[in-house]
Amino acid sequence: MVLELHKPRPIWQIMFSTHHTDVGLLYLIMSLGFLFLGGALALAIRAELFFPGSQIIADSMTFNRMFTVHGTTLIFLFILPSASAVGNYFVPIMVRYKDMAYPKLNAIAFWMIPPGGALIWLGFADFTWYATPPYSIISAPGPAADMWIFGLKILGVSSILGAINFVVTIMKCKHPDMSLGQVPLLAWSFLSSSLIILVALPTFAAALLMLLTDRLGVSGFFNPAMGGDPIAYAHLFWFTFHPEVYVLVIPAIGMMYEIIPRFSRKPIFSHASGLAAFIILAIVGFSSWAHHMYATGMSFTEKTVFMVGTLAAVPASAMHVFNFLATMWGGRIRFSTPMMWAVGGIALFFSAGAGGVVNSAMPLDFVTHDSYWVVGHFHLFVMGTIAFGTIGYVYYMFPYVTGRMYHEVLGKIHFVLAMIGTVMVFFTQHVLGLYGMPRRIYDYPPIPEWIAMNQIATVGAMLIGISMAIWLGNMIYSSAKGPEANMEDPFGLGGRYYYPHTQKNPHH
């Protein structure tokens, strides 16, 4: 553990370390860095859309590049690495092993991310995070697109290496006295999401290579001019990235499973139900990928099959929500900052899920598809659920990572502003979608309803921006000057914690 408070080390010792808490710290810092970079792009996008016409972004190509890099960054360079950060800190401790199963592989998986991120940011491609062919093959400009493809390739390999490491650590290195069912739910969330990665990601890895050779002109897998089929790419892409949605959300749910019982001062209502929901989601998540493609001209039968597959994933998510509420029911709840984030995240998770049912119902999908409804819908997951769970967990980890306590009042202000902002941006975007505004547009006609709702969304985004600036200040200041935390019970809750700081560090 990096208890730098008492025994500070030079930075290179942490960078070249393979110890799981050091790699976790690297993951954490890098993912938060990319969160702020990607968030800055989001603020620029929202500012541009405040009025119809051109505001602060000079031309549509720049705008298109910005939302592409925004999406790619926050998914691959914030959400995935921040989950790995938490997993690195807590999984080995929860399974009572000295480190990750393959420490060097762990460090390699981390160090593949900076070059991948650099390729994405230096290239600044414009074909959306979905890289849809034939646009991405015949129309997307220059080296940017190729750099994006190579960047994603590297990040994909890093994800697979990380997933192998988590699976082996949990399945093979757990303490022999502990049955797999007794492994805490946070670690279980990493097991199930890692298994999904191992099954889903190779498909996209193949599709990326095919995309690259198509761009080079030596093949025509997705190029209709050469006899290929762009819809084939859509299937390959969504076969990876619909399950990937669960890869993103499951660790955040796992983090809530750590926070909610702790701050309710009550055991989890049902460990087995949470565990069953993780397993069900990991399996059923593979039956719904083509619900992203109703509008590509699928047959009625195909649409029906994927609608049923999608609806089948809902009960598992509903089980988590029930479990959280039943855990809180009758508990002596302490609304410290991490708990506020977790509870807010659950509320938004429920809203996002309800909106998802609307999307999956075939006739309604043709109202919402590729409109701002979809933008609002998935942002309620990635921001409202995943980022909320993760930020709550970062507050929860803060005393363990730094040995100091963050400023509680600022943490609460951060939550309140971000919650109001999130509701303003993403609920409004649902309605905006019902009014027909397409996503990924640089400018829009001056329709009064569109203008009003875009302005509400932009104000909300600025509130989120302010709250994140408060957070950044709080973290930087508190990690250097904050009061020393009581490491046995930093939140004054009693009970037993997992103690990352008791892990022996090889450099000490």
Partner 1 sequence: MQNQPNMRGLIGSMSDEHSSWPEWVYIGVVVALLCWVGAEAWNVERLVEHVPEDAEIIKVVGQQWFWTFEHEDGTKEVGELHLETGKAYKFEITSTDVNHSFNIHDYVVLLDAVPGRINTVWFSPTEAGEYDIQCREYCGLIHYNMRGKLYVEDPS
Residues 112-151 binding partner 1 (CB under 8 A) are: 126-128, 130, 132, 134-135, 138-140
77: tokens are: 């360079």
> Cβ 497 to partner 1, closest distance in Å?
10
438 touches partner 1 (CB under 8 A): yes
Q: Which of residues 64-123 bind partner 1 (CB under 8 A)?
A: 64
**CB nearer partner 1, residue 202 or residue 494:** 494
Q: Which of 33, 114, 115, 230 binds partner 1 (CB under 8 A)?
A: 230
Please state, in angstroms and rounded to a whole number, the distance separating the CA atoms of residues 162 and 167: 9
Distance between the two ends of the chain, CA-based, in angstroms?
Answer: 10
Task: Tell me: does residue 181 bind partner 1 (CB under 8 A).
Answer: yes
Number of residues that bind partner 1 (CB under 8 A): 71
What 103-109 contacts at long range (C-beta under 8 Å, 24+ apart), as own/partner pairs, is 103/18, 103/19, 103/20, 103/23, 104/18, 105/161, 105/164, 105/165, 106/18, 106/20, 106/23, 106/162, 106/165, 107/17, 107/18, 107/23, 108/161, 109/84, 109/158, 109/159, 109/161, 109/162, 109/165
The reply on whether position 271 binds partner 1 by CB under 8 A is: yes
Tell the smallest beta-carbon distance from residue 76 to partner 1 (Å).
Answer: 19
Q: Which residue, among 224, 211, 62, 38, has the nearest Cα to 132 in the 3D structure?
A: 211
Residues numbered 363 to 402 that lie near partner 1 (CB under 8 A) are 363-364, 366-367, 369-371
Nearer to partner 1 among residue 19 and residue 46 (C-beta): 46
The yes or no reply on residue 273 touching partner 1 (CB under 8 A) is: yes
444-473 binders of partner 1 (CB under 8 A): 444-445
The pair of structure tokens assigned to 190 is 């990493």
- Which residue's CB is nearer to partner 1, number 310 or number 402? 310
- Residue 261 binds to partner 1 (criterion: CB under 8 A): yes
Residue pair 193/250 in contact (Cβ under 8 Å)? The answer is yes
Of 18, 22, 25, 66, the C-alpha closest to 44 is 66
Q: In angstroms, give the least distance from the CB of 184 to partner 1.
A: 8
Stretch that binds partner 1, among 104-112, 319-327, 375-383, 397-405 (CB under 8 A): 319-327
CA–CA separation, 449 vs 428, rounded Å? 11
Say if CB 236 and CB 204 are below 8 A apart. Answer: yes
Q: Is 308 in the site for partner 1 (CB under 8 A)?
A: yes
Nearer of residues 33 and 224 to partner 1, judged by Cβ: 224
Question: Would you say 161 and 100 are in contact if contact means Cβ atoms under 8 Å apart?
Answer: no
CB of 177 to partner 1, least distance (A): 12
Decide: is 60 part of the binding site for partner 1 (CB under 8 A): yes
Q: Which stretch binds partner 1 (CB under 8 A): 5-13, 161-169, 432-440, 480-488?
A: 432-440
The residue type found at 292 is H
| Distance in Å, CB of 362 to partner 1, minimum | 4
For residue 194, give both structure tokens.
């890692």
Given the rule CB under 8 A, which of 6-14, 236-244, 289-297, 483-491 is the region that contacts partner 1? Answer: 289-297
Please name the residues in contact with 111: beta carbons below 8 A apart, sequence gap of 6 or more: none
Instruction: State phi, psi for 155 to the nearest 5 degrees.
Output: -65, -35
Residue (12 or 366) nearer to partner 1, CB? 366
Using the rule CB under 8 A, is 436 a contact of partner 1? Answer: yes
- Full 3-state SS string of 101-138: CCHHHHHHHHHCHHHHHHHHHHHCCCCCCCCCCCHHHH
> Residues 47, 55: contact at Cβ < 8 Å?
yes
Rg of the Cα trace of the chain?
A: 22
Instruction: Report in angstroms how near the CB of residue 263 gets to partner 1 at its nearest.
Output: 14
Please report how close the Cβ of residue 29 comes to partner 1 at its closest, in angstroms.
30
Q: Does 267 bind partner 1 (CB under 8 A)?
A: yes
Rank residues 268 and 391 by Cβ distance to partner 1 and give the closer one. 268
Q: Which of 6, 481, 496, 504 binds partner 1 (CB under 8 A)?
A: 496
